[in-house]
Amino acid sequence: MEETAPQKGTVTQRAIERITAMIREGELEPGERLPTERDLAVRLGISRSSMREAIRALTVLGVLEARHGSGIYVTRLEAGDLLETFGVVADLSRGQRLVELLEVRRVLESTATALAAARITPDGLAKVEKHLAAMDATDDPEEILAHDLAFHREIAAAADNETMAAILEGLSSRTFRARVWRGYQEEGAFARTRCEHAAIHRALAARDPEAARAAAATHVGAVEEWLRSRLRG
C-alpha cells in the first residue's frame, strides 16, 4: 500500500531516529560506511523511499556524507560540522529574531571569554593581540571585520570547548557583522568598540575570568543595543 504524504513524513522521521540510534549506540561508528539503502530499509522495516529521504536529511545536517562512487558514511561527528546550520540561521534572521540571537551570543561569548582568561596560552594571547593591533591600525571596515572575526575566533578557541566554539562560529554571521561595522563607521563609533576590544584583551592578559566575562558581555551588549536602536528607528 502506498504511503500518504503525512504518513511518509512520519515514517521518514522514524527512519532518521533509527539511524541516529544506531550511531548513538555504537552500531555505526564515525567514519564507518552505512549499509546500502536497500539493506537498511529491510533491516529497519522502512520503505526505501523513506530511507532515502532520511539519509538525505541526515546528510544535510552533517551527520552523514555521500562519497562519490563509494557510498554513504557517518561523518566525524565534529561539533563544527553538525552546527553549520547555525550560520544559515544567523545570516537569514532579521529584526527581533536577530536580537534574540545576539542575546544568546552575549551569554555564550561572555562565558567563552571567561574560560579563555583561565585557559589561554601565551601563543593564544599573542594571536589575540595581533588581531587587536590590526583592528587599531585601520579604518577600513572590511579589514576591521576580518580581524574582528579572527579576534573572537581565537578567544573561542582558547576557551578549549569545541562545541561552544562551533555554536559561536555559527552565531557570528559575517554578513551581520559587516552591517554592524558599516553602521559604526557612519556613527563614528570605532573608538568605542576599540576600547571594548582592548578591555577584553586586558582581562585575558590579566588572567581574570570575571573581568573577561564582564568585558565580553559589555561588548556584545553594545551591539545588541545598537541593533535595538536601529529597529526602533
Q: Are residues 145 and 38 in the same domain?
A: no
Helices (H), the chain: 5-24, 37-44, 48-60, 79-82, 85-92, 95-119, 122-136, 141-158, 162-171, 174-187, 190-205, 209-232
User: Which residues pair with residue 73 across a beta bridge?
Assistant: 33, 65
Main-chain dihedrals φ then ψ at residue 73, nearest 5 degrees: -125, 150
Q: Are residues 56 and 108 in the same domain?
A: no
How many domains does one find in the chain?
2
* CATH number assigned to the domain comprising residue 36: 1.10.10.10
Check residues 118 and 138 and name the one with the higher pLDDT: 118
Q: 175-230: per-residue pLDDT in tens?
A: 888 888 888 877 877 888 899 999 999 999 999 999 999 999 999 999 899 889 88
Q: Are residues 103 and 122 in the same domain?
A: yes
- The DSSP symbol for 208 reads -
Per the structure, the complete domain to which residue 204 belongs is given by: 82-232
Q: 51-102: per-residue pLDDT in tens?
A: 999 999 999 888 999 998 899 999 988 877 777 767 777 777 788 888 898 8
Q: Are residues 156 and 93 in the same domain?
A: yes
Residue that the C-alpha cell 530511507 belongs to: 51
Three-state DSSP string of 113-179:
HHHHHHHCCHHHHHHHHHHHHHHHCCCCHHHHHHHHHHHHHHHHHHCCCHHHHHHHHHHCCHHHHHH
Check residues 185 and 129 and name the one with the higher pLDDT: 129
Q: Are residues 177 and 118 in the same domain?
A: yes
Confidence (pTM): 0.76
Q: Report yes or no: 210 and 118 within 8 Å, Cβ to Cβ.
A: no
